[in-house]
Structure 1
Amino acid sequence: MNHSNLTRGSEESLDRFLLRLGDDKEIYGLDNWHQIRDVMNAESNEDFSESKWRKDYHLLKRGYDLHQAQLNPDGIVLLQEEKKLEAQKEYKKIQTIKSELNKNLNKAARREVMWDMIKDSIEKIPVPKFQPIIYPPTRDKVGVLSFADIHFGKYFKSLKNEYNEDIARDRMSLLMGETLEIIRQHGFEHIHIINGADSIEGMTLRTSQLQSIQSGLIDQTIKFSKFIASWLNVLSQYVRVTYHHVPSANHSEIRPFNSNRGEYPSEDLELVIMNYVHDVLANNPRIEAPLYDKDYVKLDVLGYNVWALHGHQLKGKKNAIRDLSLLHREFIDYLYIAHFHHAGTLTVGEGLTNDIEIIQIPSVMGADEYSDSLMTGAKAGANFSVYERNKGRSISYSLKLN
């Protein structure tokens, strides 16, 4: 890091200092907003989150740019063009059409329509009263909890399973208890959590879905967003959490204009849930919820490259790691996939100190009438894996939820 100019000048205001750091962070060797947060907190003698400083910077930057535009005759024209573009976007929010020429504008408009419908429900969740973490941080073990296919909003009664929104909440409460017991056994002070998506049932795949949903698309999204954020908030009383939410799935995908599967991959309600969790838990120092803009998430676990995606986009499971590694030019040690509603592990190769594995995440929902008809049902569940340095994924807990 270049430490030169990382202190505020005697005539420099705190706002000017923040604007300078944000504009020239590459010059100063500031790789991310966590580092800028540390500098700003030290300079202001505060203890604000990176989210607070980042939002302040963007507000200052916007005000500064507008001021410069008004001072510059050319800038006035740019300001007028910006207002014109904003008016176009508002029109598109009502009259969105399927047009390749206006693809980017339409994407922004549809997303704003969605946020307009749910933003009033968003409010910061109070930070809980933390229980003291009695386990010292371990550098040789990390826990990874994975769950998926909650299908919140769906209700049914099958041969060996019954499901609705209340049962979904009960199963997640049971999962928290099982997780805390594993944390106690191994002494984890920090765990990763992977949500493999299909968090909601949705209602855009087929008309038959309408017969088995308790609430509409937006209500499902709002209720689940609030629930999972509160669930993580409670869990953080006992352990530090990094929450990774897979931002793309098939049930949560929006399919406007009778479009086909995957035609609008960035229009997915998992993105709304992911951003909601990130925003409302921003003040909780024991929770980190990174934002992802691809259809997968990836994390480093003791030097092992771990990826997770929903799985609906895979052509086959056996070659998934090979295909993704070739496509992205990146070696993958472990791949978590959901979508198939079955637990399982497939070893597809050998690393220096570990097996290269595909971990199939079971469904929180469990078997329904459709899986009964195919005789392919499986118990509701989740997975907790223990990773060890120079050993990889050494222990796997199959957690049954019904």
Structure 2
Amino acid sequence: MIHNELLKQSDESINDYLIRLGDNQELYGLTWVQTADLLNKESGDEYSESRWRKKYSAYLEWKPVVLEKYTNNEVVDEIRDATIELKKERNKLQTEKIEYNKMIREQGRADLLEEKIVEAVINRPTIHIPNIHIKKNNVKRDFLFPVCDLHDGVSFKLFGWEGELLNEYSPEILEQRMWKLLEEFVSINDKQKINHVTLPNLGDSIDGILRMSQLMSLKMGVTDSAIHFAEFMSQWLNELSKYCLVDYYSIFGNHDQLRLLSGKRDEFPHENAQKWITKLISANLKDNKNVSVTNCNEFMYLDILGTKTLAVHGENEKNLENSIKDYSLTYSKPVHLLLSGHLHHSHEKTIGMNGVRDIEYVQSPSIIGIDDYSLKLKKTSNAGAKVMIIEENKGRTLTYNIRL
């Protein structure tokens, strides 16, 4: 069906009609072939698009000459003003069309993402829940076992000056390191006889796309890597629950952000893949009485046997010592221990004390280890994790550093 604006008006000659269509081709979304079809239909002619186009081009060529020679300045100014207004309106319509198409495109992506998530939930493999009853922790000690910066989906090899391999990573290596980490933790648990672990995931579970250069290293798409991580972490937590009670928490990472529109950092800080990763894990383990899965957030404030622990990803922390003071003052809450990730290297410092407890921060190592970005920042360390023991009324008393 042809819109009324494309039809020849009753007060238009065929030449006027040609000029109007030619002037507004971009606005109407017409090609010259389509323009010629409309003109031939109204005139009864069978001219080619080339003939109509040349006729319009001739009009454009002679229009300024005619205006300058045969009209007074007032008429010329009036026509010029009208032309400017027409261009303004045309630009408005073009802008609206661009924004509308952009909205449709992004809505389509969001719908596809939702479909993928629903499909993953329906088709997820059955996890065999262990029929093991573990008694509540009564020893006044607790494991604090943060993991961070797993960057599922990325695949790379990083070489040194002389071609030596500094680090290699892939989804398969991620799984190998996590299973090794579990073995190390079970060995520690056998010695310490503690049957409860607080396990915060400090974010960057997937690699995401923050920079276009990441496209070369991503082995899986963002959706696929998030689903893979959720399924793997569900199985990993399920296996861990055979040895102790698990409280699992997750924090938003900057790589977990879904930059759906402009790709700018923190433009939609709450649109984060970690949300539905956590929901998938929770759905997978809903029948496991030994695992508690808490919905994720940007911060996680935990009370571990009286030790007030604040877990963050760390991309917004310029100085962790100042962050402890700032968070305590801003939220009027004590922070005895600040946990952070993001920088892919390990660091810790005691900045004060509160009774017998130290006030301290712990920068956690990463599962991914050294990569191009951390190498550029000169903040590097081997892949690993820390297993800490928190004692009631004492705080952190022992730390195991696990090298992966």
Query: What is the TM-score of this pair, normalised by structure 2?
Result: 0.69
Task: Name the counterpart of 2:78.
Answer: none
Would the aligned equivalents of 1:127 and 1:284 in 2 still touch at CA under 8 Å?
A: no
Shift, 1:259, TM fit: 4.1
Shift, 1:298, TM fit: 1.9
Shift, 1:375, TM fit: 4.5
Corresponding residue to 1:221 among 226, 241, 244 = 226
The residue type paired with residue 275 of structure 2 is: L
Identity %: 31
Please give the secondary structure, in 1, of the residue aligned with 2:197: strand
Would the aligned equivalents of 1:128 and 1:237 in 2 still touch at CA under 8 Å?
A: no
Please give the secondary structure, in 2, of the residue aligned with 1:398: strand
Q: Does 1:255 align with 2:259?
A: yes
Shift, 1:223, TM fit: 0.5
Shift, 1:376, TM fit: 3.5
Corresponding residue to 2:395 among 375, 392, 395 = 392
Over residues 152-173 of structure 1, what are the superposed CA-to-partner deviations in whole Å (9 max), with x where a residue is unaligned? 1111111321111110000000
Q: Does 1:129 align with 2:130?
A: yes
Over residues 273-306 of structure 1, what are the superposed CA-to-partner deviations in whole Å (9 max), with x where a residue is unaligned? 11211222111100000113x3111221101111
Would the aligned equivalents of 1:111 and 1:267 in 2 still touch at CA under 8 Å?
A: no
Task: Name the counterpart of 1:276.
Answer: 280
Would the aligned equivalents of 2:141 and 2:390 in 1 still touch at CA under 8 Å?
A: yes
Question: Which structure would you say has the larger Rg?
Answer: 2
The residue type paired with residue 321 of structure 1 is: I
Shift, 1:369, TM fit: 3.4
The within-5 A match list for 1:45-124 is: 95=103, 114-122=113-121, 123=124
The residue type paired with residue 151 of structure 1 is: H
Whole-angstrom CA distance in 1 between matches of 2:370 and 2:184: 21
Task: Name the counterpart of 2:170.
Answer: 164
The within-5 A match list for 1:3-402 is: 95=103, 114-122=113-121, 123=124, 125-131=126-132, 133=134, 137-159=137-159, 160-203=166-209, 205-246=210-251, 248-292=252-296, 294-373=297-376, 375-401=378-404
Would the aligned equivalents of 1:124 and 1:281 in 2 still touch at CA under 8 Å?
A: no
Whole-angstrom CA distance in 2 between matches of 1:222 and 1:270: 10
Would the aligned equivalents of 2:136 and 2:196 in 1 still touch at CA under 8 Å?
A: no
Would the aligned equivalents of 2:343 and 2:374 in 1 still touch at CA under 8 Å?
A: no
| Higher mean displacement: 189-198 or 249-258 | 249-258
Shift, 1:270, TM fit: 1.0
Whole-angstrom CA distance in 2 between matches of 1:118 and 1:379: 33
Would the aligned equivalents of 2:307 and 2:393 in 1 still touch at CA under 8 Å?
A: no
Shift, 1:127, TM fit: 4.1
Equivalent pairs counted in the alignment come to 297
| Higher mean displacement: 207-216 or 364-373 | 364-373
Whole-angstrom CA distance in 1 between matches of 2:176 and 2:254: 24
Whole-angstrom CA distance in 1 between matches of 2:310 and 2:110: 26
Please give the secondary structure, in 1, of the residue aligned with 2:348: strand
Please give the secondary structure, in 2, of the residue aligned with 1:161: strand
Please give the secondary structure, in 2, of the residue aligned with 1:320: helix
The residue type paired with residue 116 of structure 2 is: M
The residue type paired with residue 339 of structure 1 is: H
Over residues 193-238 of structure 1, what are the superposed CA-to-partner deviations in whole Å (9 max), with x where a residue is unaligned? 11111001112x1110011110111011111110001110111112
Whole-angstrom CA distance in 2 between matches of 1:112 and 1:194: 30
Shift, 1:120, TM fit: 1.5
Whole-angstrom CA distance in 1 between matches of 2:245 and 2:306: 19
Please give the secondary structure, in 2, of the residue aligned with 1:272: helix
Would the aligned equivalents of 2:130 and 2:238 in 1 still touch at CA under 8 Å?
A: no
Gaps of 5+ in 1: 1-91, 99-105
Whole-angstrom CA distance in 2 between matches of 1:157 and 1:327: 42
Over residues 245-275 of structure 1, what are the superposed CA-to-partner deviations in whole Å (9 max), with x where a residue is unaligned? 11x1111111122242111100111111112
Would the aligned equivalents of 1:137 and 1:188 in 2 still touch at CA under 8 Å?
A: yes
Whole-angstrom CA distance in 2 between matches of 1:137 and 1:316: 35
Please give the secondary structure, in 1, of the residue aligned with 2:261: helix
| Higher mean displacement: 124-133 or 145-154 | 124-133
The residue type paired with residue 348 of structure 1 is: I
Over residues 298-321 of structure 1, what are the superposed CA-to-partner deviations in whole Å (9 max), with x where a residue is unaligned? 221101111101011223222111
Whole-angstrom CA distance in 1 between matches of 2:397 and 2:284: 34
Aligned-CA RMSD value: 2.4
Would the aligned equivalents of 2:344 and 2:374 in 1 still touch at CA under 8 Å?
A: no
Please give the secondary structure, in 1, of the residue aligned with 2:359: strand
Cα pair distance change 1:281/1:96, threshold 3 Å: farther
Over residues 333-369 of structure 1, what are the superposed CA-to-partner deviations in whole Å (9 max), with x where a residue is unaligned? 1111000111111212211221011111111000123
Gaps of 5+ in 2: 1-99, 160-165
Cα pair distance change 1:291/1:112, threshold 3 Å: farther
Whole-angstrom CA distance in 2 between matches of 1:327 and 1:97: 40
Whole-angstrom CA distance in 2 between matches of 1:111 and 1:193: 31
Would the aligned equivalents of 2:208 and 2:222 in 1 still touch at CA under 8 Å?
A: yes
Shift, 1:130, TM fit: 3.8
Whole-angstrom CA distance in 2 between matches of 1:273 and 1:345: 29
Please give the secondary structure, in 1, of the residue aligned with 2:145: strand
